A and B are shown apart, each in its own frame.
Chain A
Amino acid sequence: MARTATVASLPARAFDAFIASTNAFATILVLGLMVLICSDVIARSAFNAPLHGVPEMVKTVVPIMLWLQVAYTLRIGRHMRSGIGLQVLGPARARWVLVANAGAGIFLFGIIGFFGWEEFLMAWQTGSWEGGDIRIPDWPAWLAVAVGATCTAVQYTRDCIRLIRHGASRIDTEGADGAE
């Protein structure tokens, strides 16, 4: 029994490590944005020579940042939700609300992931791009969507299985503000 658990937890640990590393990569992108935009401001105001394509690059990076972080944010329970209803419902009923929530997540992120891979493959094969000053290929953004949405759907599936098997824990029923 213990051996099975160890074997089963290996892919789980690998998955956790993977989503944590994409998350870390995305946070480095924030610093990258900071440096990029500051260089543009300095180049423009000090040397009257703005860098080409900064708005296009920024535009591409923002969705990539989100999709690299979304699964990890779900894993650590930081997507926004109100905890009050779950607490009123009590653990038994809250469990099924959370299962339904996870089901909705699997459905939605499953669709995004499925079509995300399709769009990625198409963008990769046709070499499509966007931009004005510089050409930015479409495939990295779609790759981020595909990977991020798939991982999120997987994470929702793990949550769903855990909730059905073991019920809701205290962290599940706490609210998360994430933002304020």
Chain B
Amino acid sequence: MEPLTIGILSLVGIIVLILIGFHVATALALVGFIALYSLTGRFGVASSLLYNTAQGGLADYVYAVIPLFVVMGLFATQAGATRDLFVAAAALTGRLRGGLGVATVGANAVFAAVTGVSVASAAVFTKLAIPEMSRAGYDRRFALGIVGSSALLGMLIPPSILMIVYGVLSEQSIGRLFAAGIVPGLLVATTLSVVIVVRAYRTPSLVGTEGDASRRPLEPKRRALLRVWPLMLLIGLVLGGIYGGLFTPTEAGAVGAAGALILALGKRAITFQATRVILLDTGRTCAAIFLLLIAAQIYSRALTLSGLPAAVSGWVLSLGLDPMLVVLLFVMVIILLGCFIDSVSILLLTMPIMVPVMNALGFDLIWFGMVAIVAVELGLLTPPFGMVVFAMKASLPGDVRVEEIFAGVLPFMLALLAALGLLMVFPQLSTALPNALFG
């Protein structure tokens, strides 16, 4: 069989296996293994690559960043960071109509600078913000939409597991990617806030009594802000340390995790049981991602050997298409996959092909990373498999249906698509900050 045919068949095979319900890592490794065997004709080569990647595929300093940032987010949550942030943000937005919604977005955005994941944020803020919004008389669907869409900020604002995975796949500096994520993250947060306020003013019934005479009690601004300064300090230290060249991302992860642990200890929030749960959570999250990373390396080797990425690049160039059209096409593929597959797996599956094409077309890979990550994140909200939506469902009372959450999120999806469009049209939004910081 032609190597290229093997490459194409393996890509199709992986997608089919994942869609019918194979473990993503098993599908990637199995098809990668079969493809390597077919390409080389030698079982020994394929198996040697399999077990050597199993041991050496993760033997890099940079991978330690993943468990460290996961642990940092979990310790910070244990320290009550999410609640404090929400209270502080709600005090700041005061009596603005839609204020609680904007506060949810704001708290999510700041918490995103502590956590690397989205689904966890969705679960936490579902329990925290939805009851508050119900008390203020918010329309339930509106409240669900706010929490779901703002949870995406977890992966957009650094530190972010997706940026780390993209950085590894595209051989881009993780520090640069972390700097690149700030403006797109703020853009998304602003877009969501604007949509909330505009909708709240146009249809006041969406936010119940908010902004009316019967006001919700507010915590004094100063006291609310005092509660969050240690957390802000930690964020400043971690991100400032990376941007200022003081720490590598891995070191920043360790310092951040230790800082969050100290915060939690300071609040007497660390019990033996809590620590056990946090460590187990970290373990299962990281084991799942690490196994995927190993399996993806095997698949990626097979793809490269088949010549498929190079062939696709050559083919796209020969078509003479408008390069932006190619980006648009890639974005559509990513969003479509997001309906069925989780975000890390989408990156692992698509980037080995897309990154060489983007490189050949002369695009900035940091910029493409941001576009791809926002597109992947949109997938967390799309039916039928939007994972943020399911995480919310799991944290809500039984009478809320998944369909209701999807419906609530829909208007915000349109706003997020608009933000994605802006990121595509104006690459400077993603590249200006890393260029200014790192040259």
Residues of A within 8 A of B (CB): 23-24, 26-28, 30-31, 33-38, 40-41, 45, 55, 58-63, 65-67, 69-70, 72-73, 76, 78-86, 89, 94, 97-98, 100-101, 104-105, 107-108, 111-112, 115-116, 119, 141-142, 145, 149, 173, 175-180
Q: Residue of B at shortest CB range from A98?
A: B21
Chosen A-B contacts, 20 in total, with CB atoms closer than 8 Å, are A23-B283, A31-B71, A33-B254, A37-B250, A38-B254, A41-B255, A59-B60, A61-B64, A62-B60, A63-B59, A69-B286, A72-B284, A80-B292, A84-B384, A98-B21, A101-B22, A111-B50, A115-B48, A141-B55, A180-B343
* With contact pairs A69-B284, A73-B283 given, residues A82 and B21 touching in the complex (Cβ less than 8 Å): yes
Residues from chain B with a CB closer than 8 A to the CB of A100 are: 22
Q: Is the CB of A80 within 8 A of B24?
A: yes
**5 nearest CB pairs, A to B:** A178-B288, A37-B254, A27-B279, A69-B287, A86-B21
Classify the secondary structure of A's interface with B.
helix
Instruction: Check A115–B51 contact: CB distance below 8 A.
Output: yes
Q: Is the interface of B mostly helix, strand, loop or mixed?
A: helix
Segment at the A interface, from B26-34, B82-90, B302-310, B311-319: B26-34
- Residues of A near B157 (CB, < 8 A) are none
Partner pick for A81 among B24, B55, B63, CB 8 A cutoff? B24
Asked whether B20 lies within 8 Å of A89 as measured between CB atoms, the reply is yes
CA distance A66 to B279 in the complex (A): 14
* In the assembled complex, B294 has its CB within 8 A of some CB on chain A: yes
The bracket for how many chain B residues form the interface is 35 or more
- Cβ contacts under 8 Å, B55 to chain A: 63, 116, 119, 141-142, 145
Q: Is the CB–CB distance between B68 and A112 below 8 Å?
A: no
Whether the Cβ atoms of A180 and B21 lie closer than 8 Å is no
Q: List residues of chain A with CB within 8 A of the CB of B161.
A: 179-180
How distant is the Cα of A105 from the Cα of B26 in the complex, in angstroms? 6
Determine how close the nearest CB of chain A comes to the CB of B318; give it in whole angstroms.
Answer: 34
Query: Complex formed: what's the CA distance from A92 to B340 in Å?
Result: 21
Q: Is B345 an interface residue (CB 8 A)?
A: yes
- Contacting residues, chain A, for B279 (C-beta < 8 A): 24, 27-28, 30-31
Task: Kindly list chain B residues whose C-beta atoms are within 8 Å of the C-beta of A84.
Answer: 19, 21, 340, 384-385
A161 to B56, CA, bound (A): 32
Distance in angstroms from B148 CB to nearest chain A CB is 12
Closest to A35 in B: B258
- The closest CB in chain B to the CB of A31 belongs to B279
Also in contact, A63 and B254, with CB within 8 A (given A79-B288, A82-B19): no
B139 at the A interface (CB under 8 A) = no
**Complex contact A116–B51 (CB within 8 A):** yes
Q: B264: shortest Cβ distance to chain A, in Å?
A: 13
CA distance A81 to B345 in the complex (A): 9
